[in-house]
């Protein structure tokens, strides 16, 4: 299957070990459906979104090339909708009741992602180099 032209970027927290691992795993699939990946901490991202740093890195974001962007659980919905085999998950994520549960689960994970990284032994990128230096 040929890759679609890039029409957006999934923006992730590069200081989160889980997020970094997630992106490495899913980046090829996302690229095939027209979504590239980039860290929220990239200077061009802050320029394009114009958000304060603390707000910028609070949620995963999807920035389209036309300037539109979504955050949080909606990023997953937008991505799942593009991936043919994940489309049934997208449909579940928009059903009233399940949508709220989806968003709640995302917020719980978001607020605890650094704990998940530590529990899973996924240090933030560069952390081992800082500890050794």
Each residue's pLDDT, cut to its tens digit, for the chain (133 residues) gives: 567 899 999 999 998 888 888 888 999 999 999 999 999 999 999 999 999 998 999 999 999 999 999 999 999 999 999 999 999 999 999 999 999 999 999 999 888 887 776 656 655 555 433 333 3
Coil vs helix vs strand at 10: strand
Residue 1, domain member (yes or no):
no
> What pLDDT sits at residue 27?
96
Residue 90, domain member (yes or no):
yes
Residue 112, domain member (yes or no):
yes
Domain range for 95 is 8-132
d(CA 99, CA 39): 26
> What pLDDT sits at residue 128?
39
> What pLDDT sits at residue 20?
87
> What pLDDT sits at residue 102?
95
> What pLDDT sits at residue 121?
60
- 46-to-8, 51, 61, 111 alpha-carbon distances in Å: 15, 6, 12, 21
Total domains in the fold of the chain:
1
Which segments of the chain does DSSP mark as H helices, in order?
A: 17-32, 43-49, 53-56, 73-82, 87-93, 98-119, 127-132
Q: Which one-letter DSSP state was computed for residue 96?
A: T
CA end-to-end span of the chain = 44
> What pLDDT sits at residue 124?
54
Residue 66, domain member (yes or no):
yes
Residue 2, domain member (yes or no):
no
> What pLDDT sits at residue 16?
85
- 106-to-7, 70, 81, 112 alpha-carbon distances in Å: 24, 14, 17, 10
d(CA 28, CA 45): 21
pTM of the model: 0.83
């Amino acid at each position: 299957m040929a890759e679609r032209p890039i029409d957006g970027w999934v923006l992730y927290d590069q200081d989160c070990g889980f997020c970094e691992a997630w992106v490495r795993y899913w980046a090829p699939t996302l690229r095939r459906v027209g979504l590239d990946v980039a860290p929220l901490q990239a200077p061009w991202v802050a320029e394009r979104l114009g958000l304060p740093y603390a707000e910028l890195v609070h949620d995963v974001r999807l920035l389209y090339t036309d300037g539109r962007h979504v955050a949080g659980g909606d990023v997953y919905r937008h991505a799942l909708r593009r991936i043919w085999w994940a489309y049934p998950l997208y449909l579940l994520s928009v059903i009233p009741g399940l949508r709220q549960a989806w968003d709640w689960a995302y917020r719980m994970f978001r607020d605890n992602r650094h704990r998940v990284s530590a529990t899973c032994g996924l240090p933030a990128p560069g952390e081992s180099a800082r500890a050794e230096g």
